[in-house]
A = this chain, B = another copy of it.
Amino acid sequence: MLQQALERARAGRKEAESDFFEFLAIPSVSSLRRHDDDTRRACGWVAERLTRMGMKVEVAEMPGGRHPVIAAEWLGQPGAPTVAIYGHYDVQPVDPVDEWVTPPFTPTVRDGRVFARGACDNKGQVLAGIKAAEHAFATGGPPVNLRFLIEGEEEISGDSLPRFVRENAARLKTDYLFLADGEFTAPGLPNLLTALRGLLYTEIHAVGSTADLHSGIFGGVAPNPLNTLAHVISALKGRDGRITIPGFYDPVVPPAPEEVEGWQRLPKDEATLKQLMGVTALEGEAEFSPVERTWARPTLDVHGVIGGFIEEGSKTVIPARATAKVSLRLVPDQDPEAVFRALEAYLPQLTTPGVRLTLEKLNSASPVVCGVEHPGIGAASRSFKQAFGAEPVLVREGGSVPVTIAFKEALNPNLLVTGFGLPDDALHSPNEKMDLEQYHRGTEMVLYLLDELVAAS
């Protein structure tokens, strides 16, 4: 049946492209109210396709949400694993629109690539999964139980899908979650994500005197919250990149040897990173490679310091209070809550006389382990090899993708986080595109994957 489905996919490329362009022509910009009807139209377009192929489709409006969640289900393979495919039907705004060679919602093919907003992020990628399901249903049905969980609030960090997943966890049992919303590491080189860093974003508030003071009169005895914050920040992370919060590194799990080995072959050496950032030297822990530092090591950064005088010129004010925005990137198995409590307990040791420090949490996200040992990894690797002719490299992500945390916490599926885009796809930028070959092979990859997951389970 896999062969039949693949043949159907190969024969139906023309139709798959016209489906793709139809989807791309809907300006589903989730952040803009004037596109609310369009965004809803995109939701309907997806729901209709899923219904047509025989899935049970639910379009769920969540309280306080902007755009509905699409949850499709087909449980026709008792005993086989259940695979959920994630995606989103909303897109980024198109500004600056003048920089588009062709209009963002008039999909235009040049050199085998379709240019349109959302081509790569995420319409082409989610549609590859939908088309794969279509072909499977048309040729005897998928070999696995299948779900789609598709949202319309990815670009606005909406809570509808995380909430839907949390509230319906009991009936959403899922063995594998497939999430394709990223890019190949290089042309011809797919990847699989094994972990994402978490985040703890805080404000450290420092309070000295009851009112601003003049440094001519009081300089030498007046506690200066800005000087204090400098001491605190300097003490929190040494010049060697090492964070000093007691117990901070205890839960850190080193990456698997096969991950680290693969990273050495990536085009992410020191020279490349220096050029990319435009810096003369990298900072951080010298005993770890640059890739390890951004993917597998926690770090701490200051994002802004509020307080005192920041206009042009000079004012000799000692501010009564000041605030530093400080965030920590966390890695498996660090817990944002535990780090917050450890930092809060540590701060009193770092202050200076007369300055009281308080810590406020603005937001946080747990690090996510996708794992390298569950059977889906091998299945996905073989599927990539078959569809694209290359095995994926195991990579990580330095930032967090909140939806993965929601899935992980509610459903705890084996995560397969990857992407069919290419590094030059211009996500979020003018002239976003997707190579049609990537789209078609992505469809085939999903077909292989459904088959491989049965074999692997």
Contact = CB atoms under 8 A, between A and B. Distances in A.
Interface stretch (A289-297, A430-438, A445-453): A289-297
Interface stretch (A166-174, A301-309, A337-345): A301-309
B398 A218 contact: yes
A316 B309 contact: no
A305 B297 contact: no
Interface string A310-325: 1001111111000001
Contacts of A199: 216, 316
Interface in A349-397: 352-356, 362-363, 397
Interface string A217-250: 1111111101101111111010101000000000
Nearest to A351: B239
Contacts of A304: 226, 307-310, 315, 317, 319
A260 interface: no
Nearest to A329: B219
A371 to B, nearest CB: 21
Q: Chain B CB within 10 Å — which of A231, A355, A400 has the most? A: A231
B197 A216 contact: yes
A139 interface: no
Nearest to A350: B239
Q: Chain B CB within 10 Å — which of A214, A297, A302, A356 has the most? A: A302
B325 A310 contact: yes
Interface size for chain A: under 10, 10 to 19, 20 to 34, or 35 or more residues?
35 or more
A306 B307 CA distance: 10
Q: For the complex formed by this chain, how many copies does it contain in all?
A: 2
A299 interface: yes
A317 B299 contact: no
A242 to B, nearest CB: 12
Contacts of A233: 226-227, 230-231, 234
Contacts of A429: none
Nearest to A294: B220
A220 B277 contact: no
Given A215-B327, A221-B294, A231-B233, 20 more contacts: A208-B279, A209-B279, A210-B279, A215-B329, A217-B398, A218-B273, A219-B294, A226-B304, A227-B237, A231-B234, A280-B356, A283-B355, A301-B316, A303-B316, A303-B317, A304-B308, A304-B319, A306-B310, A314-B362, A315-B325
12 contacts: A209-B277, A213-B277, A215-B299, A215-B301, A217-B399, A219-B299, A220-B290, A223-B283, A230-B232, A304-B308, A308-B325, A315-B325
Interface of A: 197, 199, 201, 208-211, 213-224, 226-227, 229-235, 237, 239, 241, 273, 277-285, 290, 293-294, 297, 299-310, 313-319, 325, 327, 329, 352-356, 362-363, 397-400
The 10 lowest CB-CB distance pairs between A and B, nearest first, are: A216-B399, A210-B278, A220-B293, A230-B233, A234-B234, A304-B308, A305-B305, A281-B354, A226-B302, A281-B353
